[in-house]
Amino acid sequence: MVKDKWNSYPAQGSGFFRFKEKLKFLKGDLKVWNRDVFGNIHTSKKRILQEIEDLDYQACNDVLWESDRLKRIELVSRMREAEKILDSLICQKARASWFKNGDSCTKFYHSSLRWRRLGNEVKGVEVGGQWCEEPSIVHVEGNKLFENRFKSTKDFGVRLDAIEFKALSSEDSLGLIAGFSEEEIRDAVWNCEGTKSPSPDGFNFNFIK
């Protein structure tokens, strides 16, 4: 399905632009395909759970037939698969939401920001053995501190004579500006963890692989 849809999309513009546009079209078609083939996963989970409860109720009041016992095993397996799909879906939605909204609207974010500001705040300085919180004096003393610490000197006390620094060979230097081969790109993608998503478009490395 993915291959047929991918080849049917129009291909105009640069390679990267075509790739981005095809992913956008494919995302919409995958939603339709998922709805037609798998239906609503939440509804399916509730239906499977209800069938399991019916069989359990039957087992409490009567003896299950062998066919019913095998059916319950199959339903439990389908239930676990549905929960696995739901977990993956929630993870993807949470990642996309974080990429889009970040932590700007959460109570935890504002609490962390407030405590960091309090920890970094300079309330006062000690001048001549006396604690002072006057803003103008704190400002002057702060400038003096950084001026004394970072002022330049004529002699840094560091000598680099006769020290051999490691350098790249000519072959390695050319390798830094060499083009990427298809094999190198494939190895880089296949070495990435499958559930990671480079962008909030919903396509993780498992899909790309």
Class of residue 204 by CB neighbours under 10 A (exposed 0-12, middle 13-18, buried 19+) = buried
∠ Cα 85 86 87 (to 5°): 90
Q: Residue 67: phi, psi to the nearest 5?
A: -65, -40
Q: 6: exposed, middle or buried (C-beta count within 10 Å: 0-12, 13-18, 19+)?
A: middle
**In the block, residue with structure tokens 């095809």:** 22
Cβ neighbour number for residue 17 with a 10 Å cutoff: 11
Return the pLDDT at 46.
85
For Cα atoms 135, 117, 119, give the angle at the middle one, nearest 5 degrees.
Answer: 85
Report the 10 Å Cβ neighbour count for 55: 17
- Distance between CA atoms of residues 102 and 23, nearest Å: 24
Distance CA 42, CA 82 (A): 8
Length of the chain: 209
DSSP bridge pairs for 126? 131
Q: What is the CA radius of gyration of the chain?
A: 31
pLDDT score for 25:
86
Return the pLDDT at 30: 85
Q: What is the pLDDT along the chain (209 residues), one digit of tens a residue?
A: 888 888 888 877 788 788 888 888 888 888 888 778 777 777 888 888 888 888 888 777 777 788 888 888 888 888 888 888 887 777 777 666 666 666 556 677 777 778 888 888 888 888 888 888 888 888 888 888 888 888 776 666 677 777 888 889 999 999 889 888 899 988 988 998 887 766 666 678 888 88
Q: Are the C-beta atoms of residues 91 and 195 closer than 8 Å to each other? A: yes
| pLDDT digit string, tens, across residues 142-168 | 888 888 888 776 666 677 777 888 889
Own/partner pairs, 11-14, CB within 8 angstroms, 24+ separation: none
